[in-house]
Amino acid sequence: MTDERRPPADGTVDTASHGDSTRSVHGGERDFRETDSLTVPIYQTSTYTFSSSEEVRAFQEGRLARDEYGRYGNPTWRAVERKLADLEGGDDAVLFASGMCAATTTFLAMLPQGSHLVVTSDCYRRTRQFIRQYLTKLGVETTVIEPADTQKLADAIRPETRLFFTESPTNPYLRVIDVAEAARLCHARGVKVVIDSTFASPVNHKALGDGADLVIHSATKYLGGHNDLLAGAAIGPAPIVAALREAVGVLGGVLDAHAAWLLLRGLKTLGLRMARHNENGLRIAERLAAHPKVRRVWYPGLASHPDHAVAARMMKGFGGVVTFELESDFDGTQRFVDALEIPYIGPSLGGVESLVEMPATMSYWDISRDERYALGITDSLVRLSIGVEDTVDLIADLEQALARA
């Protein structure tokens, strides 16, 4: 895609118009450097000392902004949070120990006892498990709707509804939500919209700009990008983020300083990596869709995807996750997965290394076949998380493995 942005006529630097790669490298850092070090250091500390009792009083009274204790703040965290807020176009951001922690803390902080939540069916299994096992203990009721069906969303909203929560794209079928329409329907009735944008990244879709009230990420995935950390994040308006920051300070799901530094380093190449993920994803999805041993492909960049029109209008790119079903049985699908030489077999996504999994044997192994099929998880379903390897090598590997399916 050609970048047609031009510098202002007066020669000044318009930082608000910077592209994703410039923001990935410099966002949240350049104007906040405390020393001459080019990179933000790892502040490996659990506590911060005060020089005097007067300084303690100034801090407690709000006259002095500084850190007190490691569960409440860390300069390395803040550099990451500023960068994420810049990338997503939010007022502020807060980090968590994992993406799952970001989701559960958001639910606990934003859903009062006896309230109602609307979620989509095609979302992360552990999120649904938390809703079923823990939110019900708080008297929170939940309505599950099909993804991308705004009429069902409108019908599901009650007077006590507080949140509409969904991934976009979803996992594993990559359904794409019309966030602007969902926000219009929800806001008209006082309901907030929370989008898990892990599969999109802020490069491919900025959900806040389409009206979402909060965006969360498993930063373990595309944001970190190297399969070497666990982290989560939430980005949005300052009042909502402040409430979440207070909640994580109480609940304790805080991020280690070293993991925050790894995330900061990973974010610097986010724009570059996403361009390659997008290119690889589209080309491989097209190749798989044309292969006689592939029954169906789910990828938002393909015209055959049910949400292609929404995705094409709303997203800059479609990511590196391709879900497909083989014209094979359980054993044949396992032969295909085992024959692949480049992707590792693993349950994550968004890293530089390609990963592949059969959801039937990975995320859904502990439930019955009938339960899996009711969720759309068939014996021949494959989720391929494409990395940044050379496209031609990945395609050749897929071809040889498909010959063995």
Can you name the residues that pair with 117 across neighbouring β-strands? Answer: 142, 163
| Active site (annotated) includes residue 383 | no
The helix or strand, by DSSP H or E, that contains position 355, with its residue range, turns out to be strand 355-357
Residue type, 127: T
| Active site (annotated) includes residue 370 | no
| Active site (annotated) includes residue 23 | no
CA–CA distances in Å: residue 358 to residues 216, 330, 371, 372: 26, 9, 16, 12
Residue showing tokens 């958001």: 106
* Catalytic hit among 92, 196, 256, 379: 196
Which of 207-228 are b and which e, b meaning 16 or more Cβ less than 10 Å from the residue's Cβ?
bbebbbbbbbbbbbbbbbbbbe
* Catalytic hit among 48, 71, 283, 335: 71
* Catalytic hit among 23, 78, 162, 221: 221
Burial class (CB in 10 A: 0-12, 13-18, 19+), 261: buried
- Cβ(386)–Cβ(277) under 8 Å? yes
The total number of residues shown for the chain amounts to: 405
* Catalytic hit among 43, 78, 124, 379: 124
CA angle, corner 238, sides to 318 and 225, nearest 5?
A: 35
Q: Which two tokens stand for residue 162?
A: 């507080």
- Cβ(266)–Cβ(224) under 8 Å? yes
| Active site (annotated) includes residue 213 | no
Residues with catalytic roles: 71, 124, 196, 221
